[in-house]
A and B are shown apart, each in its own frame.
Chain A
Amino acid sequence: GDSVTQTEGPVTLSEGTSLTVNCSYETKQYPTLFWYVQYPGEGPQLLFKVPKANEKGSNRGFEATYNKEATSFHLQKASVQESDSAVYYCALSAPPNTGKLTFGDGTVLTVKP
């Protein structure tokens, strides 16, 4: 079946430093890839999605490129802020596109001022 593997946490950074959360996936199909973010006490919310290989998604300073050859979708941000502290999930949806999302285990990010 489909699977997603991402950087194990927790990750602790200082404000202003750069972030990379690795994500690799396995599927026999051609997936749509997602990054979701979950703040304490809330449900996950979509950060962005990328449906096509070699395209980049971005939102709120975060970005990731769908690398089909490497089956990767790493999340990056050049300069993190304390408000970015959250859990980040990489996910995929593959044909027959029932709407089912396969999630990674999540990466807990803490940004210290």
Chain B
Amino acid sequence: ILNVEQSPQSLHVQEGDSTNFTCSFPSSNFYALHWYRWETAKSPEALFVMTLNGDEKKKGRISATLNTKEGYSYLYIKGSQPEDSATYLCASQRSGGYQKVTFGTGTKLQVIP
């Protein structure tokens, strides 16, 4: 895989449901994987930066896992709330050009009350 890809593109869930989505990224020369949340009319907000294979990070009801060998990360939201509605972006940083962060196209989550 050469690009950063996210799936699904969009997702509707009921309030209270748990959900997850995927980010696939180049596994070669991996340096770091970022997750951001972007609410409409606001700035993207950093959720996690992960660097180690097998890493798991948690922030409230949101958690993420990382597999650098196969090049994927999952983002989980437990008990979705309407305020979780946003676009979730992942971004890959590769060594060599480590200052460059390449974003995926995002997963747009809509939580229905």
Q: Do A and B come from one complex?
A: no
- Point out residues on A near B: beta carbons under 8 Å: none
- Point out residues on B near A: beta carbons under 8 Å: none
